[in-house]
Amino acid sequence: MGLMKRLATDRMFVGGHQKVRRAALKLEEKMRRQATRRAASKAMTPVSKDAKRNVRQHQPDDGPSGRNARPEIAKSLKKKTKTTGRGVVETRITTYHPLAHLLELGTAPHGIRSRYGTMMTFLIKGKPYMALAIQHPGAKPYPYLVPALYVNNAKCRAIFIRELKHAVANFTRKAKYK
Looking at the domain assignment, is residue 34 inside a domain? yes
Tell me the C-alpha distance between 120 and 129, whole Å: 8
Q: Specify the pLDDT at position 12.
A: 34
Q: What are the per-10-residue average pLDDT scores of the chain (178 residues)? A: 35 47 61 83 92 82 59 89 78 88 90 86 85 88 90 89 83 68
The phi and psi torsions of 92 (rounded to 5 degrees) equal -125, 150
Answer whether residue 4 is part of any domain. no
Q: How far is CA 107 from the centre of its chain?
A: 24
Q: How far apart are CA 106 and CA 112, in angstroms?
A: 16
Cα angle, residue 30 at apex, residues 27 and 35 outer, rounded to 5°: 125
At 30, phi and psi to the nearest 5? -65, -45
Q: How far is CA 37 from the centre of its chain?
A: 12
Residue 8 is assigned to a structural domain of this protein: no
Instruction: Give the residues across from 156 on adjacent strands.
Output: none
DSSP 139: B
The total number of structural domains in the chain stands at: 1
Q: Tell me whether residue 20 is in a domain.
A: yes
pLDDT of residue 136: 86
- State residue 4's pLDDT score: 37
Within a domain: 3: no
* Nearest alpha-carbon partner for 44 in 171, 169, 157: 157
The answer to the question of residue 10 being in a domain is: no
Range of the domain at 44: 16-136+146-177
Residue 5: the pLDDT is 35
Has residue 123 been placed in a domain? yes
Q: What is the pLDDT of residue 175?
A: 66
Q: Torsion angle of alpha carbons 18, 21, 27, 28, nearest 10°?
A: -140
Q: What does the alpha-carbon distance between residue 165 and residue 122 come to, in Å, rounded to a whole number? A: 57
Q: Is 54 part of a structural domain of the chain?
A: yes
